[in-house]
Amino acid sequence: MTKILITGSKGQVGRCLVEQLNNTIDIEFIALDRNELDITDSTSVEKIVTSFRPNVIINAAAHTAVDRAEEEVDLSYAINRDGPRNIAEAAEKIGAAILHISTDYVFAGDKDGEYVENDETGPQGIYGKSKLAGEIAVAQACHRHIIIRTAWVFSEHGGNFVKSMLRLAESRDTLGIVADQFGGPTYAGDIAAALIKISAAITKGASVEFGIYHYSGMPHVSWYDFAKTIFVEATEQDMLKKPTAINPIATADYPTPAKRPANSKLNNRKIYSQFGIAPSCWPLALKNLKNYTS
């Protein structure tokens, strides 16, 4: 029987993983949140891993507060670099594979067109720098590693752009939304499904090319276009009487402590070629917005 260990089980991807694995036969899994496993404690990580002896470890734990990371530098590196290293080292000791989630923020965001896996990195803030450090640590510590870079994650769980837009629509008649940052909104449930499919390929002995993969949603849009679609869907689903009026604004009009990539477009061809995993269809994931308000 396949055994999977999940860290960060209360995050967006972690919760989706648990939901999907609960309905999957022939897989035994343990899902731990930060209160149950501090990934920055190498002793605790090794104890859990050597006791459960999973075939695959999925690290969905991360410090994702992009703006707070500019102040919480040590914490960001502890969770985004040191924790993944601890997990990867423990995986290597028992011959397990590690699937680690990373981000579009490892890129500068100044490229024309889509980013591919071997493009030069150039993170602009602490979040991106700490996540890139985590990628490097995982790759160095465990040779059986899959690093999944994703972007603009949303789901029914936790805090995200979709839920923020629905909440703001209740109290605002007009919103200004950034229109000069572009990327692929990615449904966390699709990320979870991709991770489970990759785990199955690994445990079934398929010829797997370990390394870095990109996985995000299509089509690519701006935050403004994404918000517009959310409000159209909310209106059609009788959650709003009419779409909330939104105005396109520039990044310069909405200053934040951390710099965001202007271009977060990730190319998905490699993951499709290797595993048959198609990009996340984010418009489809917006078809039941009532689930995002609970």
Q: Is the pLDDT of residue 294 over 80?
A: no
Catalytic residue among 77, 127, 187, 224: 127
Phi, psi of 115, deg, nearest 5 = -80, 135
Radius of gyration, alpha carbons of the chain? 19
Is the predicted pLDDT of residue 207 greater than 80, yes or no?
yes
| Domain edges within the chain | 2-160+184-220+266-281
Cβ(16)–Cβ(157) below 8 Å: yes
**Which residue, 285, 20, 6, is CA-closest to 156?**
285
Query: Residue 135's closest CA among 180, 87, 206, 178?
Result: 87
Q: Which CATH superfamily is domain 2-160+184-220+266-281 in?
A: NAD(P)-binding Rossmann-like Domain (3.40.50.720)
Tokens linked to 106:
């490892």
**Can 127 be counted among the known catalytic residues?**
yes
> Which two structure tokens, joined as six digits, stand for 99?
């699937």
Q: Tell me, what's the pLDDT at 114?
A: 98
The pLDDT value given to residue 243: 79
169 vs 200: CA distance, rounded Å:
41
Cα 79–chain centre separation: 15
Contacts (Cβ under 8 Å, ≥6 apart) of 121: 106, 107, 108, 132
Question: What is the predicted pLDDT for the residue at 293?
Answer: 83
Q: What is the pTM of this model?
A: 0.97
Percent above pLDDT 70 for the chain: 100
Q: Mean pLDDT check: name the lowest of 54-63, 104-113, 241-250, 267-276.
A: 241-250
Instruction: Quote the pLDDT of residue 25.
Output: 84
Query: Given this model, what pLDDT does residue 28 score?
Result: 95
pLDDT at 242 over 90: no
Mean pLDDT of the chain: 96
Quick one: pLDDT at residue 53?
Answer: 97
What confidence category does residue 42 fall into, taking pLDDT thresholds of 50, 70 and 90? very high
